[in-house]
Amino acid sequence: MHNLSRRIAIALQHEERRCQYLTREAKLMLAVQDERVFV
């Protein structure tokens, strides 16, 4: 289980460095959440 967690963390770090994947997805989730609050 530790090995799997480590591999996922490395993959996420790589994608964040490559194309800011986590940053974009977090912003998208916050925007959707904000949209639902004001509807």
Write out pLDDT tens, residues 1-39.
899 999 999 999 999 999 999 999 999 999 998 888 766
Q: What domain range is 20 assigned to?
A: 2-37
14: tokens are: 């790589």
Distance CA 14, CA 27 (A): 19
pLDDT of residue 39: 61
Report d(CA 14, CA 20) in Å as an integer: 9
Q: Which tokens belong to 2?
A: 């530790």
* C-alpha 36 chain-centroid distance: 20
Structural domains of the chain, count: 1
